[in-house]
Amino acid sequence: MTVSEETPLLHNDHSHISEGTSKRELIYERFSPRQKRVLVAIVSWCGLMPLFVSATIYPSIPAMVKDFNTTPQIIGLAVSISILAMSMGALAAASYSTFYGRRPIYLFALPLLVFGSVGVSLSRTVGELYVFRFLQAAGASPGFSIGAGVIGDIYKLEERGSAMGVFLAAILLGPSLAPVAGGLAAEYASWRHMQFIIGVFGLIAFGIIWTCFPETSHPGVRGIDKLCRQAENGVKIRWNRYIVNPLSPLGLLRAPNILAVTIACFTVALTFFVLMVPIAYTIGTKYNIRNDALIGACAIPGGLGEIIGAPLSGRLSDRIVVKWRRSRGGVWYPEDRLRAATSGLLYFLPLSMLLSGLIINYVGGPLGLALVFVCLFANGFGLELVLSPAAAYVVDVLHSRSAEAVAANNGFRSVILSVAIAGIMPMIDAYGVVATNTASAVLTWFGFGLLWLTIRYGESMRAWCNIGFSTAETN
């Protein structure tokens, strides 16, 4: 079955379109509010996949160490491999989604996720684990970048931050649910069962996309649409014109504002991994938590912080955009949206990292554990105060290449993360949790500096290297 813009999801009387709607706004009225909510729900389901792929492994590391008769550092490399695969996959998916559309990319990637998940569940050696983790993560990789692109396709500028916040809040159920699910499986069944279940979830997502998901790209803007128009006009199209450079989104990073926001987001994301990757050997060891399911449950406070922070930050960033635009007499300054992210980088993230390291090291018993949970909540909340406005910002300024912009942001960030994550366990072993968390906190303050420079000098930074930035009229 082929889904097009004439499928039942889209075929209606368009009664939701009001008279006097501008040409720019009309493109966003192709879908009714109900249809948009359905689409957000579908891409959120796919967005959960990468988080389940990565986060279910954290509480399972001790069980996997025993199963493969190896060390935590060797199993920890599987996390780095999956992050690297997600970055590469997201870049390729975004490039091809700009050319062929969103729907075909989901239909290509999800079978890889299913195959890789089954392979991980059946792995007999560490080598097999690495190979199938790579395939599994690559198959899950479009979840965030393509999902963010879909949000940009269907929501106009003034609504995009709120919609992005809802999307992130939905997919960020992952950090709360995935470690618990992974811990339960490792403790009471097998970590392998959890990986097989992820494959089943991917198969369900594939079926939903195949039957219910239309193409959301704006009509006529895909690369394939342009080639078809040329062919109709008698232009001979060479075969290599249908091949897309999967690394092309990285070219967007030559713009200093995009690079600055990307590095700032890296410092944010690193705090999550510094807390979660060694959780069994920091929180688990300090507070004598030996049950894998309970270790996984320790991630819940952080996940709750993310779930609360994502929609709040998205709505706040929309209000800031409207407020500052009105104060300038209708002039849109894209960097205004980033003002919503400053408190996360300046206060919530660095302080939660510093305090959690000190508490784990010096405060024992139930009081210490309770205080660590407060820090995890603050970290999750701060995480989304930054990531949600940042994602909406890169969609705003590069709307015609929204999926690529998000993939460039996530992809480059993930490449750096894959290297940094590999050093977390050795650094804790060598220098301790206080030094490791302090280093992460200092990096977030560096990220704040980059974000502040982008807010202050955004117009100059965009002028320095214009990569086709969107305007208020083209957004």
Q: In which residue ranges of the chain is pLDDT below 50?
A: 1-8, 10-13, 20
Q: What is the pLDDT of residue 475?
A: 64
Distances in Å between the Cα of 289 and the Cα atoms of 285, 292, 303, 428 are: 6, 8, 19, 19
Place of tokens 């507070």: 287
Q: What is the pLDDT of residue 12?
A: 46
Backbone angles phi, psi at 238, to 5 degrees: -75, 150
State how far the Cα of 68 lies from the Cα of 75, in Å rounded to an integer: 9
Distances in Å between the Cα of 26 and the Cα atoms of 38, 306, 362, 474 are: 19, 33, 59, 12
Architecture of domain 32-216+223-233+245-464: Up-down Bundle (1.20)
CA atoms within 13 A on the CB side of 378: 19
Q: What is the pLDDT of residue 16?
A: 53
State how far the Cα of 106 lies from the Cα of 44, in Å rounded to an integer: 13
State how far the Cα of 133 lies from the Cα of 61, in Å rounded to an integer: 14
Q: What is the pLDDT of residue 385?
A: 93
**Cα 39 versus chain centre, distance:** 17
State how far the Cα of 439 lies from the Cα of 451, in Å rounded to an integer: 19
Q: What is the pLDDT of residue 183?
A: 76
